Amino acid sequence: MSALFEIKNLRKSFGENLVLDDVSINFPAQSATVIIGASGSGKSTLMRCMNLLEELNDGQINLDGADISAYGTDIDSVRGQIGSVFQAFNLFPHLSVVDNITLAPRLVHGVKKDVADKNARDLLQRFGLADKADEFPNLLSGGQQQRVAIIRAVATNPKILLLDEVTSALDPVLIAEVLTLISELKQEGMTMVIATHEMGFAKKIADSVVFLHKGRVHESGTPDAIFSNPQTQELKDFLSALHQAGRL
């Protein structure tokens, strides 16, 4: 598979704190890449750099062969091609579910209201939330709100979907419904980058796994290689800690 998205020699610091150091990763089209690592390893900062929410200190980010990190890039246009969902749902509380989903297609992509509305309702139907279309976010469970947030990101037909710890704020009973939605998107061929602490899910969905440690890529490979045959002591220690905590 060709690389749809590429990170080359990325460096990012906040003051004297170097958060990402010479990170290079290729993300093939129609693949799911899972980013793992301890808290503070740089996962969330990496995701924010990928959708240009953070300015790079050095390095390059390519989308479909174009350098989107270059000076003068139309950032709004680029973000329209990258769907992003974070731990916080960030749904607009004063808008119904369907209006939350149609906002970006209408305002950013110029989709007519009736077309955007139909597309949104079709997505809600496909992912089991058709009966919530006209409700407001405060009436939904946390799992339902996060699923709506993911559907909202998908509604713009992004080239790649970034999911940063999207289950971290949820009770365990609600996590499964969100992971099911992500699995369905994977089956449909959505290119995804997923930062998660859900290791069982990572094993199932990932085509490749990247282990970040202190801002550097220490290992990358297939789920089997990463979880069953770790090469570096840092990854061995990380997996051992997860095992002792009952999370692996």
Q: pLDDT class for 59, splitting at 50, 70, 90?
A: very high
pLDDT for residue 168: 83
pLDDT for residue 62: 96
The predicted model gives 36-62 an average pLDDT of 94
pLDDT for residue 244: 85
The answer, yes or no, to whether residue 166 has pLDDT greater than 70, is: yes
The answer, yes or no, to whether residue 3 has pLDDT greater than 60, is: yes
Q: Are 25 and 33 in contact (CB under 8 A)?
A: yes
The predicted model gives 155-159 an average pLDDT of 93
The answer, yes or no, to whether residue 167 has pLDDT greater than 90, is: no
All structural domains of the chain, each given as residue ranges with its CATH number in brackets, are 3-244 (3.40.50.300)
The answer, yes or no, to whether residue 147 has pLDDT greater than 80, is: yes
Start-end of H helices in the chain: 43-50, 75-79, 97-107, 113-126, 142-154, 172-187, 199-205, 223-228, 233-244
Surface-to-core class of residue 103, CB atoms within 10 Å of its CB (0-12 exposed, 13-18 middle, 19+ buried): middle
pLDDT for residue 200: 87
Looking at every residue in the chain, the average pLDDT score rounds to 93
Q: What percent of the chain has pLDDT over 90?
A: 77
pLDDT for residue 152: 95
Q: pLDDT class for 89, splitting at 50, 70, 90?
A: confident
pLDDT for residue 174: 83
Pairing of strands 192-195, 160-164: parallel
pLDDT for residue 1: 55
Q: How many whole angstroms separate alpha carbon 213 and alpha carbon 4?
A: 24
pLDDT for residue 194: 95
The answer, yes or no, to whether residue 83 has pLDDT greater than 90, is: yes
pLDDT for residue 117: 96
